[in-house]
Amino acid sequence: MNLPKLKIGRLVADLPIVQGGMAIRISTGALAGAVAKTGAVGVIGASGLAFEELAKEIRLAKRIAGGRGIVATNIMFAAREFVGLVNTALGEEIDLIFTGAGFSRDIFKMAKGTKTEIVPIVSSVGLAKISKRLGAPAIVVEGKEAGGHLGTMRSIKEILPEIREAVGPDLPIIGAGGFYDGKQIAEFLKLGANAVQIATRFVLAEECNAARAYKEVYQKATKDDVVFITSPVGMPGHAIKNSFVKKILDKTVPRPAGCDYCLKNCSLVYCIIQALINAQQGDLENGIVFSGENVWKIKNRTIRPAAEIIKDILKEYETADE
């Protein structure tokens, strides 16, 4: 059972697998490049990076990929430095920019005349139609099963068929939210997706930039450990329970002593960026570990190269009908 290729504008990926962009230095150039080298789409999480740091990670990913696959970045619209990060990625001639946590029409104007493709992350029929009208060569359709900042509390299984019907058969759709194995690829191709986005599973890649303690949280997570929290951005997300997350849920989390104004809008209930930096560096007592809601369903949670994870996903796809 052969997987179809994924065509996004001028770009073609041999594998219809997108490694989700995980911000605050979780998915950097090493992971994105390793995934792209397999023929899939590797994604750098740009939010939280300085402009020159993003540029260096893009160059690293391209060098590792060696001309294979697609090298992309994910840039949150909610980030105050959104425009600067987009311009940096465009200046490095990145293949593709995914953008979510809000919706930008201006990004299409910014990318006009460049070789970079712009792919919005949406969770509604309305935004899917707007994306198509603006000329998006593809869209990511994300359901409530995802980690990070969510734009909906509806399941991907409900949303994706609705959006497929609304935008017609020709616009490529990348399903996102809770994907963790190759059998789901087979299921969602039948539902109308052209590809799937998988983020959580790639935290367990050797090339993932998270601290070992962060990865161990993924390895040990159970169903009951995964909870919804509200970000100061105003969007919900899945996180794995720890002492800091419990304080968020109990509303006893300490307010930030200062603010760098990294977000366009922030409730200042706590500092999400510092909490994510702490976790990425291994300080789990003062950090947030985002994950998809199905982290506990991953069967092989050993830490190994991204290419081996891709191989396992392909084997799972091949045996989907068994």
State whether 163 and 277 are in the same domain.
no
Question: With contact defined as beta carbons under 8 Å apart, do 99 and 81 qualify?
Answer: no
How many whole angstroms separate alpha carbon 181 and alpha carbon 195?
Answer: 13
Q: Tell me, yes or no, whether 1 lies in a domain.
A: no
Per-residue three-class SS string for 122-146: ECCHHHHHHHHHCCCCCEEEECCCC
pLDDT of residue 147: 83
pLDDT of residue 302: 97
Query: What region, left, alpha or beta, does residue 156 occupy, with left being phi > 0 and alpha being psi -120 to 50 degrees?
Result: alpha
Domain range enclosing 102: 6-209+298-318
The count of domains in the chain is: 2
What pLDDT is stored for residue 93 in this prediction? 97
**Residues 275, 143 within the same domain:** no
Q: What is the per-residue pLDDT for 1?
A: 61
Q: What is the CATH number of the domain that holds 13?
A: 3.20.20.70
pLDDT for residue 151: 78
Residues 290 and 304 in one domain: no
pLDDT by residue for the chain (322 residues), tens only, comes to 688 999 999 999 999 999 999 989 999 999 999 999 999 999 999 988 999 999 999 999 999 999 999 999 999 888 888 999 999 999 999 999 999 888 899 999 999 999 999 999 999 999 999 999 999 999 999 999 988 777 788 899 999 999 999 999 999 999 999 899 999 999 999 999 999 999 999 999 999 999 999 999 999 999 999 999 988 877 788 999 999 999 999 999 988 777 767 767 778 787 888 889 899 999 999 999 999 999 999 999 999 999 999 999 999 999 887 6
226 and 88 in a common domain: no
Question: Whole-angstrom Cα distance, residue 20 to residue 116?
Answer: 18
